[in-house]
Structure 1
């Protein structure tokens, strides 16, 4: 019911996530990112705790492969076979676990600085479309993530329609500098594109607002002068 991508930009140090599903509010449950550390997704009959644990292991110095092995080994043996886990570390190394009870047509694809995974897919071509498009597209990391989502849909997407999508990015601000979600929509990826177009020109200024309010521009929100 989900396809997703974690991407590292080696030039900026930013990490980003793009995820879509037929289920509502997928990004709220599945996505974990940490400045300078990496990213992790816990999906397919999601246990959000596993994503948090993967980030904790990366923060402690584990590689993606080490973090994944540790979390899988200590997970509940009665449930881990239902899970799908994706990890990308600070060096751009990827690791994936897909339990034997993952749903439908499932799999993963990884390259340096990118990893994708999915289940209930129309075909595994969707995963290569995610990774290859993200790595070859131009623009900011958000634009590359969005292009990857569009390519995934063009490659067939899920077996059925998707209804929710999320796109998140961390840099070095201490919070998600982009965190956009469409939690239920007939065409969530198109709707996300509309929101992203509005957001991107303002992204860096909202970082400035948080770090130095006196130097930040106003966007006319209540309380601004």
Structure 2
């Protein structure tokens, strides 16, 4: 699996397709977050932006290989493992960006009534929940389920929006905890949302890998 992850990471970095979601995330933070605003609200905004960004990154990694190269990798390592490596690679960059954003926003935000450690913990858990939820959206909006670009992009945008507003979504639950904490100046650690996101991502990855092995 380590070799597959290196291979997928190399493809992503050399293609420079990661620049678009990176710039989108940076632009969203630049427009929506200001120094000195309540830290939990800023962390919630940062985490919410990671849902579509992660979904986009995952879709990029799932579609970046030429068919011939994908067949060679599948023959060497198995289609399921190759697909899983692409999923993990697609989620890794947004997770890193989110963690950096949490540290930066905790440093510049207004932490009155909220300890730095509590704010960081809540931000990291919310970030993990949103990244994993976004990865699930990206996995379902790309091959092998949707191969046509138009339908895939439509499903990705719709899925990311629903993940942010639908009751029961791990991402929405995590964001609600941060918003509530911002109003009460009490950091609520969204452990349940993060656990739900882990289960959702694991189930989605298993489904996608199994479908890839059968349909491609």
- Same fold by TM-score greater than 0.5: no
* TM-score, normalised by the number of residues in structure 1: 0.31
Higher relative contact order (CA 8 A, sep 6+): 2
Higher strand share: 1
Higher helix share: 2
* TM-score, normalised by the number of residues in structure 2: 0.32
